[in-house]
Amino acid sequence: MPDKDETERRRDIKRQLRKKANLEFEQSLPVSREIFKNIFDFIDAHLSEEGCDDALKLTRKFLEENQIINTDEVVSWLQNNGGYCDCEVLYNVEEQFENTI
């Protein structure tokens, strides 16, 4: 049974680890969090009518329409985070933004 100080110390370590993980996540983003949020909203708004083409059609469309210059970087970041098509971006990637901060 850890004493009070020990519990507090462990809690501190956990907090720091989470902070570090969040920071690393934040730093890995190729575009701002705000833009990602807009990507998710855009896919969400169009996916049901357009359907998923098993690629990042809507994502690419958004990036193009919003003149995001590092499209390739964003696409490979999404793929690295489990988003190989538009619906996967919503299912796998969006929640990672909700878990942080």
Q: Measured over all CA atoms, what is the biggest interatomic distance in the chain, rounded to whole angstroms?
A: 58
Nearest approach in angstroms of CB 91 to Zn ion is: 8
CA neighbours within 13 Å on the CB side: how many for 10?
6
Q: Tell me: does residue 52 bind Zn ion (CB under 5 A).
A: yes
> Tokens 């970041």 sit at which residue?
77
Nearest approach in angstroms of CB 75 to Zn ion is: 14
Of 72-91, binders to Zn ion (CB under 5 A) are: 85, 87
Closer by beta carbon to Zn ion, 77 or else 84: 84
Helices (H) and strands (E) in the chain, counts: 6, 0
Binding region for Zn ion (CB under 5 A): 52, 85, 87
